[in-house]
Copies of this chain bind each other. A is one copy, B any other.
């Protein structure tokens, strides 16, 4: 059972995903700045996992507050919220988790709790966010698993697994685990997902740990394997879903969706409702992170490209809603038109 981020009395524990699959090392992060750096440097990644980590980061930062003045305490919360919010721009769960922690603070303060009590409330709420995340995934796995046919091969892109979430199930890999849990025979084709290789390093590792058969391909092979009839469904996670069902996810997702559409293969998106951003009307409103050129030009110390060339390194892309067969959340399976079906899930 994989849980990539944990609360402890010593600080926030994070499995260093940068070292997988060859090394399993846990870091103990003792300050909120360490947690922010852990998110920014991708010790932990994946929208739900980033959300849980940010909540723990705030709980940790506030626990470490040494003053006695409530105004200072609140200033500190605002300041660390800003620091944490600046780590990654695309995953909306980050902002959602920070916002929820701030609301929890406001409520506790309003209830007349003192600093010591509020510290405890924030720790408990961060743990609750984590528990709720795992429970959401369990439901996503259940609802999504029902969409996967027996004896089928599912293609997935990037890692939307236990490692990308609070743990245990995962979102896209949750759907696969759900299908397996329901007694179905499922195998997986994992895109390696350049440049950060989340598919090769993390998805292949996770599934291998669970004895779910996984075949690794390069990103540019997905069209060919679909053309050969090797893929019966595609399932991916998401970093942010707009109100109209446009889906921001790891770079390359759009390409997989276009190919699935051409081959009449269902394209499913699995994500907790905290990934849906009703304040974003369409995918055009979602900011797309651009990352360092070195992620593409080098693998560790091996230089892959010449000096002096241009490099574009987009972290994410947007898949338009018309290519999305269904969005699976903890509330069930939403289908087009998403503006209505997603809003309805929030109202339930």
Contacts and interface: CB of A to CB of B under 8 A. Distances in A.
Interface of A: 21-22, 157, 189, 191-195, 197, 200-201, 204-205, 207-208, 213-225, 227, 251-252, 254-255, 258-259, 262, 296-297, 299-300, 302-306, 308-314, 317-318
6 contacts: A192-B194, A194-B194, A194-B218, A215-B309, A216-B305, A216-B309
Contact of A310 (B201, B214, B254, B262): B214
Which DSSP category, helix, strand, loop or mixed, fits chain A's interface? mixed
Contacts of A217: 296, 311-314
Given A192-B296, A304-B192, A304-B299, A255 B220 contact: yes
A221 B308 contact: no
3 smallest beta-carbon distances between A and B, as pairs: A220-B252, A215-B310, A21-B306
A254 B314 CA distance: 22
B314 A201 contact: no
Given A193-B220, A224-B251, A224-B317, A208 B309 contact: yes
A313 B192 CA distance: 12
B296 A216 contact: yes
Given A192-B194, A225-B312, A219 B216 contact: no
Given A208-B308, A208-B309, A310-B213, A220 B191 contact: yes
A318 B302 CA distance: 31
A132 to B, nearest CB: 30
Contact of A311 (B216, B225, B252): B216
Q: Which of A221, A262, A296, A313 has the most CB of B within 10 A?
A: A221
B223 A220 contact: no
Contacts of A309: 204, 207-208, 214-216
A224 B306 contact: no
A301 B169 CA distance: 32
